[in-house]
Structure 1
Amino acid sequence: MKGGAPGQVREDRARFFYGDKLRLARLLAGLSLDELGGLVTASRQFVHQLETGAKEPTEEMRDALAAALAVTSAFFATPATNPVREEDCHFRRLASAPRALTAQAVARGTALEALVDALEGQVRMPIVDFPEEARPASPNAIERIAENARQHWGLGLDGPITSMMRVVENAGAVVVHFDDLTDRIDALSMARRRPIIVRSTAKVAGARLRFDLAHEAAHLIMHQGIQTGDSVTEGEAHRFAGAFLIPRAAFAREFPRSRRTLDWNALFAMKLRWKVSVRAIARRAFDLGLIDAAQYRTANIQLVKTGQAKAERYDERVAIEEPELLRAAISWISNRDPIVLYHLLANLGMAPELFARLTGERMPTLPDNVVPFGTDRLL
């Protein structure tokens, strides 16, 4: 096949149909077997047989499936290679998330990874540089791991982190958001060759989004190969996030001391300096023994009473950090030669609609004399 003309190569590839790619495309679209069957006028059983390889579709059915799933027919012509598995993922709120939702998130991770791999053939991305640590045996070990991570990335231990987003992206992670998935899955990360972090857009507070990024960094550093989502591993990641955002020595120096009541003005000033929520600051003070259980409980009650359980005072003054790495890679290719991006998508068998769903970006506009999309016309 190597020596054949491009048209012959496409024709040969089109003869193959891999059911695992149909299942992947269906999960990417968030459709059940019944729902996809309804879109292509086929039974649930028939779609299942296609996915398992028990049957093969006609050319017309193949085209109908592609149209329904925002892919091209070429998408089905190659098998899924090294797909993301659920055990590769660190889910938040996994217990309450429907099984179909976690499967959809894993499928999106698989497709996004394939897209990022293709982009890396065109642009240079940061070297993946997350330090690997053994699972901590104590809270003190978590503090040390967080401090080591800051030192590893040249962040020091005395001052606030300017951008948590840039910390993880400079370490090689790709950060995206799946708007329609993160109502039930709070946040998640995928431990892959190039880590993927999915941030939740259900939260509008910049301080909480920064904490989420630090939390996911904790999983990538401390929980390689460990199933997470339980209260123990989540507690470890929370402790790391607090320690990473405000190291213990600096926290102890700046936390306002009082035997009886908390100095709320000082706490909010601390929030604005470190870009960490007051709720997280109160928890950090309790973890470090600077306030007792009664004071910590009183702090949480006060936040609830004043309507600050989810949205705190001065939230608007902590900027929401936006992902930059993936957008910059796509922008660089689009500005240099947009047709390359269309070739790339055609080779992956993705339609622009799926590209937008995965990345949040739109495909660039091509000159009027160039056909905008289609494997047969571009390759």
Structure 2
Amino acid sequence: MFYGEKLTSLRELNGLSRKDLADQLKITEQAVWQYETDSILPRIEILNQLRSLFNVETKYFFSPVYLSDKFSEEKVAYRAEDRESRKKTKLELTFLNYVYYYINYFERNLVIPDAKIKSIRQKCIEIVRENKLEKKELIKTIAELSRAELALDNNKDLMYVLENSGIYIVEKNLGSQIDAYSTVTSDGRLFIILGTLKKSAVRRNFDLAHELGHLLLHSEVDMGILTTAELKVIEKEAHLFASIFLLPKEEFTRDFLELKRKSNPDYYIDLKKKYLVSISALEMRAYGLELMSYQENRYFWGQLTKKEYKSFEPLDDEISPVKPGKIRSLFKFVLDKQVIDLPVLLDHFNILPEFLIELFSLDKHFFEEYLETKKDFFSDTTIIDLANHRKKAELS
């Protein structure tokens, strides 16, 4: 039996509309709809095209559906302008369900300690529910609490600390309009999805802290029903959280007051090295702490524009962005320990290695050492040297 639902999910996973897929297969959009609704069975040549396009075996479409919905639209935190597209949200939910399923599959035989982030998040939820603090003070309290609970001493360790706390961080091609987003599953697992578009290390750090802010501040907010104006407020709150979280007040104030010229962006380079935060974010934090005058602030932004630092700052091409490592380590651990046999997994799900490589943005050679190379029937056979054989026969 052909399962059209699996074709739909693969199409959505790859960000394709029915028309997009029809164009690639050189068939009608109506035909794609008929495949997905189980009205007709694709021809063998179409199945072969689908195999190549989606990195699955043709048998994939003839095996039962295994995905289940673990994510909901109201829990996906996008940038405000990105949430205009409901279609985009639906495609991301499909991606998230695939990611969740395979992570869960790789972890199923492991005893994993309780995630620290869950207890931190619960403390933050209780603080928000009490609602006794003015909003800025509430954000400050949660940012300082979470940094202390995570024991983050140096911002260069942010990716590792967040992954080690229990957050799953995945890279994905999100296009040029989306930097990152965050969400939580129905069973309480936290995810941050980072765009693969090349960004500076400091901007990636801020994206991580921003999404952490959403996960801790807005856990009980229904993102799906907010207006554009309300979403902008939510974004500003996550932005303020990231600033406070990455630039602790006392330490940052002490360092900032040592600057010789507060209004000159070039004097911020050492602070950028230390905190791994952009020059503009450093100044905004300083101005928010009233460490600069209004005139110094105005002059700073004039200089930032003049030096064209809004698009590219000093050190942006020197500090390498950190890539997520937890999921790679998970895969390597279970495969090295032979908890899972990769060929058996691929055969069970009827997928090709490239399917997992693309899903998790892995190196293209990641699985090579775990794939068995089957011997040819004659791989152990030697070839007789006929000329040498005749010579030996003549001598005998």
TM-score bin, normalised by smaller chain: 0.7 to 0.9
SS of residue paired to 2:160: helix
Q: Which residue of 2 aligns with 1:74?
A: 60
* Residues in 2 aligned to 1:339 and 1:322: alpha-carbon distance in whole angstroms: 25
Distance 1:148-1:49 versus aligned 2 partners, 3 A rule: same
SS of residue paired to 1:286: helix
For residues 222-256 of structure 1, the C-alpha deviation after alignment (integer angstroms, 9 at most, x for no partner) is: 11142178211111111111111111222222222
Shift of 1:170: 0.8
The answer to whether residue 52 in structure 2 is matched with residue 48 in structure 1 is no
* Residues in 2 aligned to 1:247 and 1:314: alpha-carbon distance in whole angstroms: 22
The answer to whether residue 177 in structure 2 is matched with residue 184 in structure 1 is yes
Shift of 1:127: 3.5
Unaligned runs of 5+ in 2: 377-396
- Where in structure 1 do 4 or more consecutive aligned residues deviate above 6 Å? 257-260
* Residues in 2 aligned to 1:95 and 1:186: alpha-carbon distance in whole angstroms: 10
Contact persistence 1:174–1:326 (CA under 8 A):
yes
Structure 1 window deviating more from structure 2 (231-240 vs 32-41): it is 32-41
The answer to whether residue 199 in structure 2 is matched with residue 204 in structure 1 is yes
Q: Which residue of 1 aligns with 2:368?
A: 364
Q: Aligned AA for 1:217?
A: L
Q: Which residue of 2 aligns with 1:171?
A: 165
Question: Which of these two proteins has the greater Rg computed from alpha carbons?
Answer: 2
Q: Which residue of 1 aligns with 2:105?
A: 118
Q: Where do 1:1-379 residues align within 5 Å?
A: 15=1, 17=3, 19-40=4-25, 42-51=27-36, 53=37, 55=39, 57=41, 60=44, 65-72=50-57, 73-74=59-60, 77-92=64-79, 94-95=81-82, 99-123=86-110, 127-130=114-117, 131-132=120-121, 133-134=124-125, 135=128, 137-155=134-152, 159-179=153-173, 181-192=174-185, 193-226=188-221, 227=223, 230-256=231-257, 262=263, 264=265, 266-337=267-338, 340-361=341-362, 362-365=366-369, 366-369=371-374
For residues 240-284 of structure 1, the C-alpha deviation after alignment (integer angstroms, 9 at most, x for no partner) is: 111111112222222227899536565222221222111111111
Distance 1:55-1:88 versus aligned 2 partners, 3 A rule: farther
Q: Aligned AA for 1:198?
A: I
Shift of 1:16: 6.2
* Residues in 2 aligned to 1:77 and 1:190: alpha-carbon distance in whole angstroms: 27
Distance 1:68-1:125 versus aligned 2 partners, 3 A rule: same
Distance 1:25-1:203 versus aligned 2 partners, 3 A rule: same
Aligned residue pairs total 351
TM-score, normalization by structure 1: 0.81
Q: Aligned AA for 1:154?
A: A
Contact persistence 2:68–2:97 (CA under 8 A):
no
* Residues in 2 aligned to 1:293 and 1:124: alpha-carbon distance in whole angstroms: 55
Q: Report sequence identity in percent.
A: 26
SS of residue paired to 2:179: coil
Distance 1:43-1:170 versus aligned 2 partners, 3 A rule: same
Contact persistence 1:118–1:344 (CA under 8 A):
no
Unaligned runs of 5+ in 1: 1-14, 372-379
For residues 183-226 of structure 1, the C-alpha deviation after alignment (integer angstroms, 9 at most, x for no partner) is: 12111112123322122333431111111111111111111142
Shift of 1:144: 0.7
SS of residue paired to 2:115: coil
Shift of 1:336: 3.4
Contact persistence 2:206–2:277 (CA under 8 A):
yes
* Residues in 2 aligned to 1:224 and 1:348: alpha-carbon distance in whole angstroms: 34
Distance 1:327-1:42 versus aligned 2 partners, 3 A rule: same
Contact persistence 2:170–2:193 (CA under 8 A):
yes
TM-score, normalization by structure 2: 0.78
Shift of 1:352: 2.1
Contact persistence 1:207–1:315 (CA under 8 A):
yes
Distance 1:126-1:321 versus aligned 2 partners, 3 A rule: farther
* Residues in 2 aligned to 1:164 and 1:55: alpha-carbon distance in whole angstroms: 50
* Residues in 2 aligned to 1:65 and 1:265: alpha-carbon distance in whole angstroms: 53
